[in-house]
Amino acid sequence: MPVRTWYPASPFRESAEALTLQPGEKREGVDIEMKKSPSYCMEGTVFGPMGAAALQFSLEAMPPSSGVSSSGGMFMMAPSGTTAADGQFHICDLYPVIYRLSAGDPNASSPKSVHGSTDIAITDQDLNGVRINAGPGKSLDGEVVWDSDPPATPVTNKVSVSVVPLFRIGYLGGRYDVPGTFTVDGVFPEEYEVQARFNAPGVYVKDVTFSDRSVRDEPLRPASAMNGAGLRVVMAHDGGAIAVQVNDKDGNPVADLFVLTLPAEVSSEGELAARIEQGESDQAGQHTTPTLAPGKYYVLAIDRPMDRSPETIGRLWRSRNRYREVDLPANGSAQVKIEPGKIE
């Protein structure tokens, strides 16, 4: 049977060859030689809280092909189905690789859902007697706090906090008071992305921590912390915004360009990818960023939306100090004029 093959002819992503396209380039002759292997089967039983039960299951080869995309969208490509009433399942047409087998309720966003997953290696034979336990999630306590004294005028807007599984569809969370406490129910021992968003002048999310470690740009792993650890959303009120004017070389405003705002104080390509702000210039060539933390930024305008592929982020990382530099003061604003450019 054919197996998942990475360009040009490898069943393993680690040995694949990366393709980097230049703007406007049309690449031909990108041929992939599909690999083949013997086909194997797997059979087993799914157990819920009350014993063997009919639950939804999915199976995908690692690394995963489902989860959260770089733009925040969710996608699903894993083969799936529902077990028999006694929890039995039987899957064939499997090639040798490590798979993640997951089972649970179809609605992963419900706090009362059950879920379980395990990694299984198919080598050179069928697998029998596979067992997966799907249990209820736990509660994750959290708090929203100020990083210093609260502002003189109380904030009435709420902060939106989403706890998103990295390897399956669904999300948990809600909108919470600033400051205040909250509880997210239905959290399982897997990896999550925490998304915290707030919209008000001068106020922004400064950090999100779990067990005294920042998870703003890193996966949240609830199972890795001691009992009693909670999620902490840290808010600040010394932010500002950057007003960007995009003109062509003759001084005419340029509309519908994509304006990128890159924080200078980042330590890795991954952190850069997570913290880039992207907006669009209006008919007057103007764009104002959302509230940002004070500090140094680089600003660039390009003619197409930026993708967050490793190749694009790598190019931005290497060339970021070539773009227009802007210093955003605390509790202030900044203005900058730029011409259309490109990611070099």
Angle, alpha carbons 100-106-111 (nearest 5°):
100
Average pLDDT of the chain to the nearest whole number: 90
What is residue 1's predicted lDDT score, i.e. its pLDDT? 84
What is residue 217's predicted lDDT score, i.e. its pLDDT? 86
Please name which of 280, 274, 302, 277 lies closest in space to residue 291, comparing C-alpha atoms. Answer: 277
Looking from the CA of 138 toward its CB, the CA atoms found within 13 Å total 12
Q: Tell me: the pLDDT tens digits for 69-94?
A: 555 555 555 678 899 999 999 999 99
Residue 99 lies in a domain: yes
Residue 250 lies in a domain: yes
- Residue 160 and residue 215 in one domain: yes
Q: Which residues contact 85 (CB under 8 A, 6 or more apart)?
A: 53, 54
What is residue 73's predicted lDDT score, i.e. its pLDDT? 59
Residue 74 lies in a domain: yes
- On the question of pLDDT at 304 being above 70, the answer is yes
> Using CA atoms, how far apart are residues 29 and 240, in angstroms rounded to an integer?
49
Residue 8 lies in a domain: no
123: domain range? Answer: 35-136
What is residue 79's predicted lDDT score, i.e. its pLDDT? 73
- Indicate the residue among 208, 236, 264 that finishes a domain: 236
Structural tokens at position 221 = 């792993």
- On the question of pLDDT at 194 being above 90, the answer is yes
| Total domain count, the chain | 3
Residue 22 lies in a domain: no
What is the arithmetic mean of pLDDT over 291-307? 95
The percentage of the chain sitting over the pLDDT mark of 90, rounded to a whole number, equals: 67
What is residue 310's predicted lDDT score, i.e. its pLDDT? 81
- Residue 102 and residue 177 in one domain: no
What is the arithmetic mean of pLDDT over 205-228? 86
Instruction: Enter the DSSP assignment of 298.
Output: E
What is the arithmetic mean of pLDDT over 259-288? 94
Q: Per 3-state DSSP, what percentage of the chain is helix, strand, and coil (rounded to 5)? A: 10, 45, 45
Q: Tell me: the pLDDT tens digits for 91-147?
A: 999 999 999 999 988 665 666 789 999 999 999 999 999 999 999 998 999 999 999
What is residue 307's predicted lDDT score, i.e. its pLDDT? 82
What is residue 301's predicted lDDT score, i.e. its pLDDT? 97
- Residue 224 and residue 142 in one domain: yes
What is residue 344's predicted lDDT score, i.e. its pLDDT? 82
Q: φ and ψ at 95, to 5 degrees?
A: -105, 160
Q: Tell me: the pLDDT tens digits for 162-172?
A: 998 887 777 89
- Residue 62 and residue 130 in one domain: yes
- Residue 304 and residue 314 in one domain: yes
- On the question of pLDDT at 40 being above 80, the answer is yes
Residue 21 lies in a domain: no
Please name which of 157, 13, 179, 197 lies closest in space to residue 97, comparing C-alpha atoms. Answer: 13
- Indicate the residue among 121, 136, 151 that finishes a domain: 136
What is residue 127's predicted lDDT score, i.e. its pLDDT? 95
The CATH number of the domain holding residue 194 is 2.60.40
- Indicate the residue among 206, 236, 266 that finishes a domain: 236
